[in-house]
Structures are given as structure tokens and as C-alpha cells.
């Protein structure tokens, strides 16, 4: 089926006029705009998110009205500069929509055709790649690998070396057969634009895309005129581990590469949410594309891909057009919902990525729910207390059963971990029952560690927990662990907790002659398979506690929408006596006495 959507230009002119007429004063530009019931709901949600670390700018238009255009969190932490509607963000793969538009413009000028072979513009390719067309590159169906680094390209390679390495690399699939998302493919489109137009990608985009669309607050890689408005990117596994990202630079001027892995074409645009909205508007006017070219851009061409965009369909109708961006610390989204006549745009400068791009996933999912009038959960409000106060709660807390909670302060945040299955369950399953097979997983973990210590590969093989190749890798890892700890004296199963994808992680503490080490085994217990192992997480369950008051704390799980509440019990003199983990109904509260 071919799905297509052409939005009348007049509609977008009306939307743009509404947006910018309502946001003219400098005060409004800094504070942003929140309008109506939907805007208030969105602002409440995003304000709560900011309490937990959300950082970026959001712009949403619904039914021809701007309902929110506002910044949250910090654009630069050290000077305390806040995000505003004028803050610029690297928008990663949203640059692909600019590249696709440039290709369609060149086709409008009869300088190329989307069904042309890329060999026509880039020189001869080997036989397996000779059939690749511009259409294949636009729809990620050329069979090319994901990134330049995947075919051996480095930042020091010249442009000629870049192309030669692409030509020499094996394909993932035959051209046109399968969808394989490829930044590398859009890099080749950037080169084709350069070859055909006689201008590099940046020069072409400025003259033929940015200027007619009036994107006055948009930079391309290499520009510097709006540096003072740039957000600084931060990335890390958790909020406590975030580190600032260094700006992208070219290692050589005649290279297509920026930084260690990025190529102009799939990336290259740094802009504001307001300019992204103007770009969306321009794409549906005659400023950028003809009516035929617009139809081509927003028609499904292969799988769920149009030219530069992803399409979501239901019952032969488009329900969402979107393109997201992820470039290092920066995440972004531009999405349109035809039925609701709504545009959702966000740009973020923080990538908390222990289990994927956290804030982009959570933000998009829940902003979309508000926009589409679906149920959503607003996390609890949190307060701020002095870091010195948090130190009073650091220590060990023992349950009546002997299991323990451990509390410590890291980067002015209070973390609590669990030792022992009962303690783990209070933190990992606060509002639901733990898996019935949890004890079986712990027992299996214990057996595997015993067999590894005895070098008894026969038992592990008979249990069929992993392949012979993986067993060899695990045995090698075991030797590395023992080199760290010294001869093993004992080990202790600390408990099992949820891992990614519904899997379970069994944690154990290895006690050796030289030192101790906490290791983990990741299980798919439905298949009775051991998937992976590691030693970089210190306890089976660790949560970050956010203060509601000086003694009451919460942890909100954004993925499960569940809350752990912890109250620290203190004496009249301010001494910490213990902690209470509170259940949802208050009937199953548990007290742990402070012992250290």
C-alpha cells in the first residue's frame, strides 16, 4: 500500500503566525508559553520530570494552537544557564530530513533522479553494490552498515579513502531486500549533493534550505555565530554519572567525518525547537519543495520509510510521521499526528543511557499520551535538602531476617542498595509480587559459581545453560575475577533482581585472599539460558532516593510507574535510628535498624 499525506500550506502559515505572534517579547522567549488545559498538563508533567533530571526544550502545537513552548533544566550546568525556547541543540538524525529535501530539490531541477544508480555520481562500485540507487539510500534499503566506523572509516581518512572503504565493505543484504538503518547511506547522499550541486552540504543547505525557510537560529556543523546559545551535552549511565560532552571537531579539513563517528548528511544540524517547527512548516509550503516533491517525501516508499521520515500507519492511514535524533548527549524528536492535527517537538541535552536513551523514551511516550488524551502518570513532587543532611542517612540497615540495606551519598544524591533476597524484593518489586522462580535462579547461580570454582565444565555443559563457545568465554572471565580477588575463600549469593527485557540478574560476592568482588549473571529463565555476565554493578538492587521532606524519600520508576517510599527514623537529638520501607497500602511496612 502507498500512504501519502499532503498538508495544505495555509494551515502551516496559520500555525506559524500563531506561534510567533504569541511569543514576541523577550520575557516570553525566556519563560516560554503554556496555554490551555493541555498546556497546563504538559507543563506539570515536564516540571516534575525536571525535578528528576529532564533537560531540554519542548514545543507542541494542537488544533492550530501552540499549547506549550518552554525550556526545562539546564543548558550548561557549571554557570547554571537554563534551557529556553532560544537554546540550540544538536538534533542528530533530524538532519536526514534536510538531506532528503536537498535530494528532492536537485531532482526538481532535473540534476538527478531518485532511481539513479549511485555509481553515476560516486564512481564505479563493486558488482554487489552496483545496483544501489539514491532511492535505496533514502529508504535505508541499500544494505549498508550503520556507521562509518563499521566499515573501518576513521576521522583521519580523506574523502577518497572514505568512499573507497564504503566500496570495499561487505553488504548486510542485497540492495532493496531489507531495511537496515544506515547513517552511512545518508553520508553518501551528502556526498552526492556535493558532487551534483558543486557546493558542500553545509553551503547548499544554507542557501537552499535554511534561507528560504527563514531558520535564523539554526547552525550547521562548522558554524560558530550562535555559540552562546548552544546547550552543552551531558551523558552517563545514570544521573549521578553524567559528564559533559566535548564539542565535535574535524581532525582533518578534507574529511567527511566530525568527531569519532559522525558524518555530514545523517547529522549536521544544530537548532531550536522553534526553528524545527518552521522547518516543518516550510516543507509544506512552496518554499522548499514542489507539490510533487512533497508528495514523494511523505509517501511510504519502502517498509515504514518515506524520504527522510518514519511513517506509522493503521488501517491504511498514516497516524504519525516522525524523525528522531540521537547524537551523543543530544536527543530530539519531530512528530506529526494527522488525526489530531498536532505537532510534537523536543530537543534534549542529556542522555542517561544505562538501558537506552532514557529521557527521550520516557518523554516521547508520555508527552504523546497527554497529546492524544491517553492515561499517563505524573511522578511525585520532590523537595531539595542540603547534601550534608543526606550524609546522616549513610550506613547499613538490618532487617529482622538479617538481610540488609546499604545507603550512601554520591554526587549529592542518596542511593540505597539491597543485600539478600528479601531486601532486594522491597526495592525491586514494591507494588508487585516477585517471580515465583526467583529462588531457582539463585540456586542456579550458586551451582554455576561452584562449578566454575571447581573447573567442572562437565556439570555446566550437562545443565545446558550456555553454548560451548560461551562457556569458554565465561571460564576466561572467571579466571580474570580470581586474578582480582586472589584464591577464592567463599562466595555469597546477594539475590536476584530484574534485568533488561524481562531477564533476571543473579548477584554474588566473591571473597578472595586479596579482595572481594561483586559479580552478576544475566538469565533468561524461561529458556533456562545464561546470557551474559559482568562485575560493574555493586549490588543487586540500587535505587536513587529523592527527598519529599528531610526524613521522607521516594524512588519513582518511570518505566513501571511504581514508587518506593523510604522514611528515615530519627531520635529527638537527630540521630538516625533506622529506616522504614513503606508499602502502597501501609500494611506491609518493614523497619530496618541502623547498625553502622
Give the contacts of 318 (CB within 8 A, at least 6 positions apart). 3, 4, 5, 311, 312, 338
Check whether residue 408 and residue 318 sit in a common domain: no
Helices (H), 109-247: 119-122, 134-138, 159-168, 183-197, 201-205, 211-213
**Domain ends where: 371, 395, 430?**
371
b/e code 270-290 from CB counts within 10 Å (16+ = b): bbbbbbbbbbbbbbbbeebbe
Q: DSSP of 557-593, one letter per residue?
A: ETTTTEEEEEEEEE-TTS-EEEEEEEPSSSTT-EEEE
Can you give the pTM of this predicted structure?
0.86
- CATH number, domain at 293? 3.40.710.10
Helix (H) or strand (E) holding 554: strand 552-557
In 3D space, the residue among 405, 594, 563, 362 whose CA is nearest the CA of residue 494 turns out to be: 405
In 3D space, the residue among 312, 544, 530 whose CA is nearest the CA of residue 407 turns out to be: 544
Using DSSP, state whether 325 is helix, strand or coil.
strand
- CATH number, domain at 473? 3.10.450
Q: What is the strand order of the sheet 243-244 is part of?
A: 243-244, 234-236, 350-352
Pairing of the two strands 488-498 and 413-419: unpaired
| Rounded distance between C-alpha atoms, residue 479 and residue 477, angstroms | 5
pLDDT of residue 17: 40
The pLDDT profile of the chain, 596 residues, written as one tens digit per residue, is 333 444 433 333 334 444 444 433 356 666 799 999 999 999 999 999 999 999 999 999 998 889 999 999 999 999 999 999 999 999 999 999 999 999 999 999 999 999 999 999 999 999 999 999 999 999 999 999 999 999 999 999 999 999 999 999 999 999 999 999 999 999 999 999 999 999 999 999 999 999 999 999 999 999 988 989 999 999 998 888 899 999 899 988 888 999 989 999 999 999 999 999 999 999 999 999 999 999 999 999 999 999 999 999 998 899 999 999 999 999 999 999 999 999 999 999 999 986 668 899 999 999 999 999 999 999 999 998 888 899 999 999 999 999 999 999 988 899 999 999 999 999 988 877 788 888 999 999 999 999 999 999 889 888 899 998 999 999 999 999 999 999 999 999 999 998 877 899 999 999 999 999 999 999 999 899 999 999 988 999 999 999 999 999 999 988 888 889 999 999 999 899 999 998 765 567 899 999 99
Distance of CA 143 to the CA centre of its chain: 25
> Does residue 537 contact residue 558 with C-beta atoms inside 8 Å?
no
Largest CA distance in the chain: 83
| Rounded distance between C-alpha atoms, residue 496 and residue 478, angstroms | 19
Check whether residue 97 and residue 206 sit in a common domain: yes
Check whether residue 449 and residue 503 sit in a common domain: yes
Q: Is residue 267 part of a domain?
A: yes
Q: Is residue 430 part of a domain?
A: no
pLDDT of residue 501: 77
Check whether residue 529 and residue 554 sit in a common domain: no
**Domain ends where: 498, 514, 539?**
539
Check whether residue 498 and residue 584 sit in a common domain: no
Check whether residue 340 and residue 474 sit in a common domain: no
Check whether residue 546 and residue 528 sit in a common domain: no
pLDDT of residue 98: 98
In 3D space, the residue among 198, 218, 16, 204 whose CA is nearest the CA of residue 104 turns out to be: 204
Q: Is residue 315 part of a domain?
A: yes
> Does residue 517 contact residue 485 with C-beta atoms inside 8 Å?
yes
Using DSSP, state whether 187 is helix, strand or coil.
helix
Check whether residue 298 and residue 160 sit in a common domain: yes
pLDDT of residue 10: 38
pLDDT of residue 559: 81
Distance of CA 355 to the CA centre of its chain: 8
Check whether residue 408 and residue 451 sit in a common domain: no
Cell 512552496 belongs to residue: 286
pLDDT of residue 34: 95
> Does residue 244 contact residue 77 with C-beta atoms inside 8 Å?
yes
| Rounded distance between C-alpha atoms, residue 445 and residue 431, angstroms | 26
Give the contacts of 584 (CB within 8 A, at least 6 positions apart). 430, 431, 563
In 3D space, the residue among 379, 276, 262, 378 whose CA is nearest the CA of residue 329 turns out to be: 262
b/e code 108-126 from CB counts within 10 Å (16+ = b): eeeebebeebbbebbeebe
- CATH number, domain at 551? 2.40.128.50
> Does residue 232 contact residue 76 with C-beta atoms inside 8 Å?
yes
pLDDT of residue 21: 41
| Rounded distance between C-alpha atoms, residue 346 and residue 45, angstroms | 14
Q: For the chain, what is the domain count?
A: 3
Q: In this structure, what C-alpha cell is assigned to residue 330?
A: 543530544
Give the contacts of 181 (CB within 8 A, at least 6 positions apart). 140, 146
Give residue 485's domain range: 438-539
Q: Is residue 432 part of a domain?
A: no
Amino acid at each position: 500500500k502507498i500512504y501519502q499525506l499532503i498538508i495544505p500550506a495555509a494551515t502551516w502559515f496559520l500555525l506559524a503566525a500563531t506561534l510567533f505572534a504569541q511569543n514576541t517579547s523577550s520575557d516570553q522567549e525566556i519563560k516560554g508559553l503554556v496555554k490551555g488545559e493541555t498546556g497546563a498538563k504538559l507543563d506539570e508533567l515536564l516540571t516534575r520530570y525536571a525535578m528528576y533530571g529532564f533537560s531540554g526544550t519542548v514545543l507542541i502545537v494542537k488544533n492550530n494552537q501552540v499549547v506549550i513552548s518552554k525550556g526545562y533544566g539546564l543548558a550548561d550546568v557549571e554557570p547554571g544557564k537554563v534551557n529556553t525556547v532560544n537554546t540550540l541543540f544538536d538534533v542528530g538524525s533530524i538532519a536526514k530530513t534536510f538531506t532528503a529535501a536537498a535530494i528532492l530539490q536537485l531532482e526538481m531541477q532535473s540534476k538527478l533522479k531518485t532511481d539513479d544508480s549511485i555509481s553515476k555520481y560516486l564512481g564505479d562500485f563493486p558488482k554487489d553494490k552496483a545496483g544501489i540507487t539514491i532511492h535505496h539510500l533514502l529508504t535505508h534499503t541499500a544494505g549498508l552498515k550503520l556507521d562509518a566506523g563499521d566499515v573501518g572509516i576513521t576521522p583521519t581518512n580523506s574523502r577518497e579513502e572514505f568512499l573507497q572503504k564504503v566500496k570495499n565493505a561487505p553488504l548486510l543484504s542485497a540492495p532493496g531486500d531489507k531495511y537496515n538503518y544506515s547513517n552511512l547511506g545518508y553520508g553518501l547522499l551528502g556526498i552526492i549533493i556535493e558532487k551534483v550541486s558543486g557546493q558542500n552540504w553545509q553551503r547548499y543547505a544554507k542557501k537552499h534550505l535554511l534561507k528560504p525557510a527563514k531558520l535564523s537560529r539554526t547552525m550547521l556543523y562548522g558554524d560558530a555565530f550562535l555559540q552562546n546559545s548552544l546547550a552543552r551535552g551531558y551523558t552517563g549511565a545514570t544521573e549521578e554519572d553524567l559528564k559533559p560532552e566535548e564539542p565535535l571537531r574535524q581532525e582533518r579539513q578534507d574529511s567527511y567525518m566530525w568527531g569519532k563517528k559522525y558524518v555530514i548528511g545523517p547529522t549536521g544540524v544544530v537548532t531550536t525547537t522553534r526553528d524545527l517547527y518552521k522547518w516543518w512548516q516550510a516543507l509544506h509550503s512552496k518554499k522548499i519543495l514542489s507539490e510533487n516533491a512533497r508528495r514523494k517525501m511523505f509517501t511510504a516508499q519502502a517498509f515504514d520509510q518515506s524520504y527522510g521520515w518514519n511513517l506509522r500507519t493503521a488501517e491504511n492511514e498514516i497516524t504519525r510521521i516522525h524523525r528522531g535524533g540521537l547524537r551523543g548527549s543530544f536527543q530530539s524528536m519531530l512528530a506529526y499526528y494527522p488525526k489530531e492535527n498536532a505537532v510534537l517537538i523536543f530537543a534534549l541535552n542529556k542522555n542517561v543511557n544505562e538501558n537506552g536513551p532514557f529521557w527521550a523514551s520516557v518523554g516521547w511516550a508520555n508527552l504523546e499520551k497527554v497529546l492524544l488524551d491517553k492515561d499517563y502518570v505524573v511522578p511525585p513532587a520532590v523537595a531539595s535538602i542540603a547534601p550534608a543532611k543526606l550524609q546522616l542517612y549513610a550506613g547499613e540497615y538490618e532487617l529482622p531476617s538479617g538481610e540488609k540495606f546499604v545507603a550512601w551519598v554520591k554526587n549529592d544524591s542518596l542511593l540505597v542498595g539491597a543485600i539478600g533476597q528479601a531486601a532486594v524484593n522491597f526495592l525491586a518489586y514494591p507494588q508487585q509480587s516477585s517471580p515465583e522462580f526467583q529462588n531457582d535462579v539463585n540456586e542456579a547461580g550458586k551451582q554455576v559459581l561452584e562449578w566454575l570454582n571447581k573447573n567442572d565444565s562437565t556439570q555446566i555443559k550437562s545443565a545446558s545453560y550456555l553454548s560451548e563457545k560461551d562457556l569458554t568465554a565465561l571460564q576466561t572471565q572467571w579466571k580474570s575475577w580470581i586474578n582480582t580477588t586472589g584464591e577464592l575463600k567463599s562466595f555469597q549469593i546477594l539475590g536476584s533482581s530484574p534485568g533488561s527485557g524481562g531477564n533476571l540478574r543473579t548477584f554474588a560476592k566473591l571473597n578472595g585472599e586479596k579482595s572481594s568482588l561483586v559479580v552478576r549473571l544475566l538469565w533468561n529463565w524461561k529458556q533456562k539460558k545464561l546470557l551474559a555476565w559482568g562485575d560493574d554493578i555493586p549490588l543487586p538492587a540500587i535505587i536513587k532516593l529523592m527527598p519529599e521532606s528531610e526524613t521522607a524519600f521516594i524512588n519513582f520508576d518511570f518505566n513501571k510507574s511504581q514508587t518506593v517510599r523510604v522514611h528515615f527514623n530519627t531520635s529527638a537529638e537527630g540521630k538516625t535510628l533506622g529506616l522504614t520501607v513503606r508499602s502502597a497500602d501501609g500494611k506491609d511496612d518493614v523497619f530496618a535498624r541502623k547498625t553502622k
